[in-house]
Amino acid sequence: GQEDRCTHLKVLVLGAVGVGKSSIVTQFMSSEYMNTYDVSQDDELEKTIFLLLDGEEYELTLFDYHTLATLTDPEEDSMGSADAYVVVYSMTDRGTFEIAMDILFVLRERGYTATRAVILVGNKSDLVRSRTVSTNEAKTIAISYECNFMETSAAINHKTDDLLVRIVSQVRLKIQQL
């Protein structure tokens, strides 16, 4: 039946305060194009969406409130059990890019960049004139940390559907490689 084919994925959305993590997750929830539907309550910290991709059903649970501190806390082992890590920075704020690199460093140290889906996301691409992190610079960092890279705008809903698809396809790719 349908339930048997549903794959459950745990997704951590990481990054500095104000980069747009919650806005990205909110855009995922309303992604009509991707056939998603939200089953979580507004006040819940975890957001769950169902998504149909290439005839396969996925249940994604998204967590967008973790910080670098919880990531490195040895007591917090829920951080290690994710299928995908989405590391967000704002391309208008270099400090948030540096925090994203710190997070990528930790993910690589733990071996997750080799075994899990890790995607570096430069958000706020609509703010063209305020850009302080170039696409090439971020691409170079993504290559050096062996992770995927995308630029999005949660404000104008640009490439957020693509990011959702990328998360699932990267998880599938990693599973095939293992």
Residue nearest to Mg ion (CB): 22
Least separation in angstroms between CB 100 and Mg ion: 15
How far apart CA 51 and CA 142 sit, in angstroms, is 27
Among 36, 113, 123, 170, binds ligand GDP (CB under 6 A): 123
107 HSE (CA, 13 A, CB side): 34
Q: How many CA atoms lie within 13 A of 136 on its CB side?
A: 0
Nearer to ligand GDP, 79 or 174 (CB): 79
Mark the segment that binds ligand GDP (CB under 6 A) among 2-10, 74-82, 122-130, 143-151: 122-130
Residue 89 sits at the vertex; the CA angle it makes with 97 and 142, to the nearest 5 degrees, is 65
Classified as helix, coil or strand, 66 is: coil
> Of 9, 10, 12, 23, which lies in the binding site for ligand GDP, with binding defined by CB under 6 A?
23
In this chain, which of 57, 59, 126, 161 binds ligand GDP, going by CB under 6 A? 126
Positions 10 through 29 that interact with Mg ion (CB under 5 A): 21-22
Q: Which residue has the tokens 């990693």?
A: 174
- The residue type of 74 is P
Least distance between Mg ion and beta carbon 28 (Å): 13
Query: Is residue 161 a contact residue for ligand GDP (CB under 6 A)?
Result: no
Stretch that binds ligand GDP, among 15-23, 54-62, 79-87, 134-142 (CB under 6 A): 15-23
When binding is defined by CB under 6 A, the residue of 12, 20, 71, 117 that contacts ligand GDP is: 20
- Dihedral pair phi/psi, residue 68, rounded to 5°: -60, -35
Q: Please identify the residue of the shown chain whose CB is closest to the bound ligand GDP.
A: 20
User: Residue 93: left if φ>0, alpha if ψ -120 to 50, beta else—which one?
Assistant: beta
Beta strands in the chain (DSSP E): 7-15, 37-38, 46-53, 56-63, 84-90, 117-123, 148-151
Binding site for Mg ion (CB under 5 A): 21-22
Binding site for ligand GDP (CB under 6 A): 15, 17-23, 64, 123-124, 126-127, 153-155
